[in-house]
Amino acid sequence: MKKKKLIAVCGMVVLITIFVVSLSANQSGVSAAPFKQRIWSENSLQYQSHHFYGESLHIETEHTSPSYRLIHIQSEKEYLFQEQELDKGIELETLPVGEYAILLDDAHVEVATSDTVSQTWHTVSRKKNTKSVQVTTRDGRLILLVERVKQLPETIYDIVIDPGHGGMDSGASGSGLVESEVMLELSVYLAEQLEAEGFKVKLTRTADVDPAGDDSYSLEESPYYLNGRIEQVYQHEAKLYLSNHLNATEGQLANGFQIYSSVQTTNELAQLLSTALQQSGMEAATHDNPGAQGEGTFTKVDTCIERITGQQSCRDTEEDYLYAIRESGGKLTSAQKLVLYNFAYESTPNFGAEGILIEYFFMNNQRETELWQENWQTYTDAIVQAITLYLQTL
Ligand SMILES: [Zn+2]
């Protein structure tokens, strides 16, 4: 599917051409032959690496597989996962407590390794149902240990919410409003409502400051400093990162919300957000943008991302253009600036959050601004409804 349209984001109007590949993914529990009959050691595949993205796990081996089969060792029940998009893979939230053998489904063999692998990740808090998931090794096999935990470790959060801009960077303005202030008000209320639903939520800032501190403010580098808006995603091992912004254009009167998600994920969360916002009375962006997925949802991609300050390099594959989405997702979304600007990180983390960026309305559109001021809490409640639906049912 090829799309070529016109986009307006934060006052910038750009024209790009992108290719969007839409793939389906399914997951289901199925039963099969007893696990004990499998002779893994004679016919295994070598583990290379693993990655957490949101609540999904991805495993790389010498063989590229489109699907995984996890076998619950105690009950021998099997769970099949397709991997086409980053928000799929092994969907950790669906796995009951226990130990799992990991097989590449098309090869029907286990993943083996002589490395010592051990990393713990957490699923999102669902009312009294938070789980720790450990990727580890035992007797040369890669296994998954799923355990229930009463509460998340102190530094771990489910969701990081970023009120855009702040401090020396006030963002866009219009109709007497300032983006950094309006987005702080929205984000604080949003965090409170999500916490009331049982999620553990971290705001990147709670005042009109840059999250990393104004003393060392740099538009390019601050997001990656300690407590910077991207660094916090990794520090708190967030599963979802929501970046809140407002739009403005010069000259033309544009309207409607724009919801951006990664080109590597399904459009599911963006679509749920769009539906909820429209039902609450907001209008989806109607102007002809590149990367439009429909009903105010978009991807924005580039093959030439500035990888080192002042230098661009290009690849054959598309990457997310918006740093909030690309740089918060870890290695799998080609994040690279955390390591570049924060010397505490020696390599790009093998984990990251599912990133969403929302531009709620156009500040130079008087009608949209008035509607926002009258109804912003209703609109925010719609965001809570969509996130709750996504995290509890998928
Ligand atoms: Zn902005």
Q: From ligand 1's centre to the CA of 303, what distance in Å?
A: 23
Q: Inform me whether the pLDDT recorded for 330 exceeds 60.
A: yes
Least confident of 138-142, 167-171, 289-293, 378-382: 289-293
CATH number at 319 reads 3.40.630.40
Cα 79 to ligand 1 centroid, rounded to whole Å:
41
Going across the sheet that includes 159-163, the strands are 201-203, 159-163, 240-247, 354-362, 258-261, 297-298, 292-294
Of 123, 149, 175, which marks where a domain is finished?
149
Taking each helix axis from N to C end, the angle separating 268-279 and 366-393, rounded to the nearest 10 degrees, works out to 130
Ligand 1 centroid–CA 349 distance in Å is 26
User: 125 in a domain, yes or no?
Assistant: yes
Is 210 a member of any domain?
A: yes
Same domain, 239 and 290: yes
pLDDT level of residue 287 (50, 70, 90 thresholds) = low
CA 244–ligand 1 middle distance (angstroms):
7
pLDDT digits (tens, 9 = 90+) for 45-64: 899 999 999 999 999 988 87
Query: How far does residue 247's CA lie from ligand 1's centre (Å)?
Result: 7
**pLDDT over 80 at 315, yes or no:** no
pLDDT tens-digit series, residues 223-276: 999 999 999 999 999 999 999 999 998 877 889 999 999 999 999 999 999 999
Output the CA 245–ligand 1 centroid distance in Å.
Answer: 4
Average pLDDT over residues 9-22: 33
How many angstroms does the Cα of residue 16 sit away from the middle of ligand 1? 20
pLDDT of residue 117: 93
Check whether residue 76 and residue 159 sit in a common domain: no
- Last residue of some domain: 149, 178, 208? 149
Distance between CA atoms of residues 36 and 174, nearest Å: 66
- The 10s digit of each residue's pLDDT in 133-162 is 999 999 889 999 999 999 999 999 999 999
Residue 5 corresponds to which tokens in the numbers above? Answer: 């349209």
Same-domain status, 209 and 345 = yes
How many other C-beta atoms can be found within 10 angstroms of the C-beta atom of residue 188?
Answer: 16
| Residue pLDDT, tens place only, 162-221 | 999 999 999 999 888 999 999 999 999 999 999 999 999 999 999 999 999 977 788 889
The CA 180 to ligand 1 mean position distance, Å, reads: 8
Could you tell me the distance, in angstroms and rounded to a whole number, from the CA of residue 368 to the centre of ligand 1? 16
Centroid of ligand 1 to alpha carbon of 250 (angstroms): 15
DSSP class of residue 328 equals T
Query: What pLDDT is attached to residue 17?
Result: 31
**Percentage of the chain lying above the pLDDT 90 cut:** 68
User: Ligand 1: distance of its center to the CA of 183 in Å?
Assistant: 9
Q: Which among 37-51, 114-128, 250-264, 373-387 has the top mean pLDDT?
A: 373-387
Helix H or strand E encompassing 61: strand 56-61
Distance (Å) from CA 171 to ligand 1 centroid: 5
Query: Are residues 106 and 188 both part of a single domain?
Result: no
CA of 300 to the centre of ligand 1 (A): 15
Give the DSSP per-residue string, 140-160.
Answer: TEEEEEEEEESS--TT--SEE
Does residue 377 fall inside a structural domain? yes
The whole-number pLDDT of residue 179 equals: 97
**Token pair listed for 71:** 């076998």
For the purposes of burial, counting CB atoms within 10 Å of the CB of 3, is it exposed (0-12), middle (13-18) or buried (19 or more)?
Answer: middle
Q: Is 158 in the same domain as 142?
A: no
Compare 306 and 111 and report the one with higher pLDDT.
111
185 Cα–ligand 1 center, Å: 14
Of 295, 317, 314, nearest in space to 306 by CA: 314
Same domain assignment for residues 348 and 225: yes
Q: Quote the ligand 1 centre to 306 CA distance (angstroms).
A: 19
CA of 362 to the centre of ligand 1 (A): 11
23: CA distance to ligand 1 center in Å? 31
CB neighbours of 177 closer than 8 A, spacing ≥ 6? Answer: 246, 363, 369
Query: Residue 202 Cα, ligand 1 centroid: separation in angstroms?
Result: 19
Task: Quote the tokens at residue 303.
Answer: 């093959």
Domain that holds residue 115: 27-149
When divided into structural domains, the chain yields a total of 2
163 CA distance to ligand 1 centroid (A)?
9
Q: How many angstroms separate the alpha carbon of residue 346 from the centre of ligand 1?
A: 30
pLDDT-derived band of residue 92, with 50, 70 and 90 as boundaries? very high
**Could you say which of 96, 118, 149 is where a domain stops?**
149
Q: How far away, in angstroms, is 83 Cα from ligand 1 center?
A: 33
pLDDT band at 14 (very low <50, low <70, confident <90, very high): very low
- Note whether 264 and 290 are same-domain residues: yes
Residues 270 and 361 in one domain: yes
Residue 329 lies in a domain: yes
C-alpha 190 – ligand 1 centre gap (Å): 17
Instruction: Look at residue 370 and tell me whether its pLDDT is greater than 70.
Output: yes
Same structural domain for residues 198 and 233? Answer: yes
Residue 360 has pLDDT above 60, yes or no: yes
